[in-house]
Amino acid sequence: MESVAAVSAADRDSLPARLADRAVCIGPAPAGQSYLRPEVLVAAARGTGCDAIHPGYGFLSERAAFQRLCTDAGLTFVGPDADAIEQMGDKIRAIAVARKAGVPVVPGKNPIGAVDEFLTAADQVGYPCLIKAAAGGGGRGMRVVRRAGEGAVALQSAQAEAKAAFGDGTLYMEKYIERARHVEIQILADAHGNVCHLFERDCSVQRRHQKLIEEAPSPSLSPRLRSEMAQAALALARAARYRNAGTVEFVYDVEAERFYFLEMNTRVQVEHPVTEAVTGIDIVQEQLRIAAGEPLSFGQPDVRLDGHAIECRINAEDAWKGFLPSPGTITQWDVPRAEGIRVDTHCERGYRVPPFYDSMIAKVISHGRTREEAIARMRSCLASFGVGGVATTVPFLRKAIAHPRFEQGEVTTTWVERELLSDIGAQANG
């Protein structure tokens, strides 16, 4: 397969532009004038003779209208169809599909309109509860409500925020699971009725809903719960007649040892390499097979867990200044090569990290026979990971990986902000 990289002016001379068979410039550096312009991307694909567009994991990857535009232009969109994107993009519809498929959902109420409606529902499910935006996802526009008196203000501000951010102020509420882990199941489904899961990833190490470290398998799940969660994800994918790669996100209640469906992401995710490491399955290759109408290259019995994998996201940010972005020219780029280490990056010495985009500059994935070995390999890789010219999250990640709570595999979603940052003397705010 030949590849064409669609790049903005800022990325014209970048490593991915050179790695692709061809690169085509789709506009000026600001994303709104390049990567976020559906018509321009489709025209560039057609103009270079492409058959398909892989949308990646940012920008337009979960825009139903972009999928439709591709299809109408005779291009294959490497992902699910527009109806599936739309259905899962509406978190209330997604919950309805999950419930109908017999997947556990968090006690709550949707949608929620007036304050009295919220208060009645909150009395039933109990405090604390969580207000979420139907058009949100990924944690944007959420409000924890700890007592009835906070309800009115929380509802009003959540609605205003949702309306401003998504153009849709529809809200719903759930019981807030306080001691929670974020666990998600990778699925792949082809056009021939094969729906397989690739087990789970644990993404509990987050700060402000930005994932920092992910791993597979989850250190917190028993084999029984792992299997139940995977079956739940398959049931949802089947009920949604889902095709291509997707991730079914759950919240795992550590105290009750129960899991609940949260939402489904209809794209390949940043953290997919940990799943590739422990299953040996190339997820992007399977996405391309599926999009081409071919069957999956494996069946469910072929999917077995091999060891443990951890991913650290390396961002051009200064964790000691509240994760302040640090764009600029990379003057040193020494990436260790070692057994059980994969580094995905678009960076090299001399590259200018643009101020326009996400600050992630690399992903380090370690793989070992055990979690201990994966941690040891990650630790040794981070110890010799040398970047100059921009601040990075490497020093922060070294401390996170070495923290006893992480080593014990015991952290919950609030760990970074409630414990880790003060333990290591980093600043929680910019």
Instruction: Provide the binding-site residues for ligand MV4, judged by CB under 6 A.
Output: 106, 130, 137-139, 174-177, 180, 182, 206, 209, 249, 251, 262-263, 413-414
Instruction: Report yes or no: 232 and 240 within 8 Å, Cβ to Cβ.
Output: no
Return the number of the residue (55 or 137) whose C-beta is nearest ligand MV4. 137
Q: Closest CB to ligand MV4 among 8 and 265?
A: 265
Strand order in the sheet with 129-133: 108-112, 171-175, 129-133, 143-145
Rounded least distance, CB 244 to ligand MV4, Å = 20
Q: How far is the CB of 206 from ligand MV4 (least distance, A)?
A: 5
Least Cβ distance, residue 314 to ligand MV4 (angstroms): 20
Nearest Cα residue to 299 out of 225, 194, 426 = 194
* Whole-number Å distance between alpha carbons of 359 and 379: 22
CA angle 358, 363, 368 (to 5 degrees): 160
Cα angle 95, 161, 261 (rounded to 5 degrees) comes to: 20
Picking from 266, 226, 218, the residue whose alpha carbon sits closest to that of residue 245 is 266
Our CB check for ligand MV4 shows the closer of 180 and 213 to be: 180
> Max CA-CA distance within the chain?
60
**Is residue 213 a contact partner of residue 421, using CB atoms and an 8 Å limit?**
no
Which of 30/139 has CB closer to ligand MV4? 139
Active site residue 267: yes
Catalytic residue among 37, 243, 267, 313: 267
Smallest gap, in angstroms, from Cβ of residue 315 to ligand MV4?
Answer: 17
| CA 136 – CA 166 distance, rounded (Å) | 7
Nearer to ligand MV4, 161 or 286 (CB): 161
The residues near 24 (Cβ < 8 Å, ≥ 6 apart) are 4, 5, 6, 7, 44, 47, 48
CB hemisphere CA count around 169 (13 angstroms): 12
In angstroms, what is the minimal distance from the CB of 399 to ligand MV4?
19
Residues serving a catalytic function are: 267
